[in-house]
Amino acid sequence: MENFFNYITKPLTPEDVDLWFRGNNIIPEKLELYSDFSHSLNILIVDTYLGEPPQSNETKITLSEDDNVRHFEWCWNKVVDNFKKEGLVFDYTGEHFDYFKSFFDEIFYNQKMKKSENLLVVFLMTCLIQKNPLLNPILT
């Protein structure tokens, strides 16, 4: 157990990260682009979501599952359009859409406690920033 703990807490050197990238056919520029896309989508979803529970005894307005689907699709299309304006074309549908939709359904829309918003940002940014010393267990 101690060896495992030491392994996952040991930072990777930049040379190790480059070796992992080459060995797994990871292109750093695409990783950065994926990070930017994920971060933009996350910020837009969190900032524009209207289903936040009330802070006090205010009238509670809840969104239906259909409202959540429409919100996600609007955010997705907005981010894809914004990247298209910069000359970076993403398909509107496909496995990437299905993955992000499932991910946000599970981690954001279906959560009772909204503390997951901040955890989501930390998780995405930790996973997607190259040369991060925490990448050792993730790359493995």
Counted domains in the chain = 1
Task: Kindly state the greatest CA–CA separation across the chain.
Answer: 56
**Is residue 42 in some structural domain?**
yes
Average pLDDT over residues 107-119: 66
Domain that holds residue 84: 12-139
How would you classify residue 52: left for phi > 0, otherwise alpha for psi between -120 and 50, otherwise beta? beta
The pair of structure tokens assigned to 5 is 């703990």
CA distance linking residue 10 with residue 16, whole number of Å: 12
Q: What local confidence, expressed as pLDDT, does residue 72 receive?
A: 94
**Is residue 85 in some structural domain?**
yes
User: Given CA atoms 20, 22, 27, 32 in this order, what sign does their dihedral have?
Assistant: positive
Residue the block writes with tokens 């359904």: 105
Q: Look up the pTM and report it.
A: 0.68
Residue pair 94/106 in contact (Cβ under 8 Å)? The answer is: no
**Is residue 3 in some structural domain?**
no
**Is residue 2 in some structural domain?**
no
Looking at the predicted structure, is the pLDDT value of residue 126 above 80? no
Q: What local confidence, expressed as pLDDT, does residue 39 receive?
A: 92
Q: Would you give the DSSP letter of residue 108?
A: I
